[in-house]
């Protein structure tokens, strides 16, 4: 079964309502792009489990150097997905707010519920 309308009929009211809200998406693609990187997603997920971690611990979790972990953490911080705090000689990171935690948690739950996204796309 082909998943295309058999006729072309635009519903202008629905199109207008949706188009009025499209500007609200500014920045959303950048947020998902930041989390689309597997390493950054692992970092964000780690911070849903352990709310605050130092750069050294995050590097150990993702199996990288502290320089690599720091680079990814800076990327997340610059996009307001994470925040940092110096404690003595160490820098600790946490997710910037509960919205980020919810995004990562909900996405993970969605994948656990059924068929992974890659398999859905090939159907």
pLDDT at residue 76, rounded to an integer: 98
Q: Strands 82-87 and 53-54: what pairing?
A: unpaired
With respect to residue 114, please indicate whether it lies within any of the assigned structural domains: no
With respect to residue 85, please indicate whether it lies within any of the assigned structural domains: yes
With respect to residue 15, please indicate whether it lies within any of the assigned structural domains: no
With respect to residue 20, please indicate whether it lies within any of the assigned structural domains: no
With respect to residue 115, please indicate whether it lies within any of the assigned structural domains: no
Packing angle, helices 66-78 and 55-62, rounded to 10: 110
With respect to residue 6, please indicate whether it lies within any of the assigned structural domains: no
pLDDT at residue 5, rounded to an integer: 86
Q: Where residue 89 sits, what CATH number does that domain have?
A: 1.10.10.10
What's the number of domains the chain is made of?
A: 1
pLDDT at residue 123, rounded to an integer: 46
pLDDT at residue 6, rounded to an integer: 87
Handedness of CA 19, 23, 26, 32 (dihedral sign): negative
Range of the domain at 70: 35-105
Averages of pLDDT over each 10 residues, the chain, 123 residues: 86 95 88 96 98 98 98 97 97 97 95 68 50
pLDDT at residue 85, rounded to an integer: 97
Is the pTM of the predicted complex or chain greater than 0.85? no
With respect to residue 28, please indicate whether it lies within any of the assigned structural domains: no
Query: Is the distance from CB of 62 to CB of 77 less than 8 angstroms?
Result: no
What is the rounded distance in angstroms from the CA atom of residue 104 to the CA atom of residue 98?
10
With respect to residue 80, please indicate whether it lies within any of the assigned structural domains: yes
């Amino acid at each position: 079964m082909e998943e295309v309308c058999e006729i072309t009929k635009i519903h202008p009211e629905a199109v207008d309502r949706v188009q009025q809200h499209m500007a609200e998406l500014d920045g959303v693609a950048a947020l998902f792009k930041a989390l689309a990187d597997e390493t950054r997603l692992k970092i964000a997920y780690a911070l849903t489990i352990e709310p605050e971690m130092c750069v050294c611990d995050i590097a150990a979790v993702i199996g990288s150097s502290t320089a690599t972990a720091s680079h990814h953490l800076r990327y997340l911080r610059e996009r307001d997905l994470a925040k940092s705090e110096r404690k003595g000689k160490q820098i600790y990171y946490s997710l910037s707010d509960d919205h980020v935690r919810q995004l990562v948690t909900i996405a993970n739950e969605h994948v656990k519920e059924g068929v992974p996204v890659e398999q859905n796309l090939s159907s």
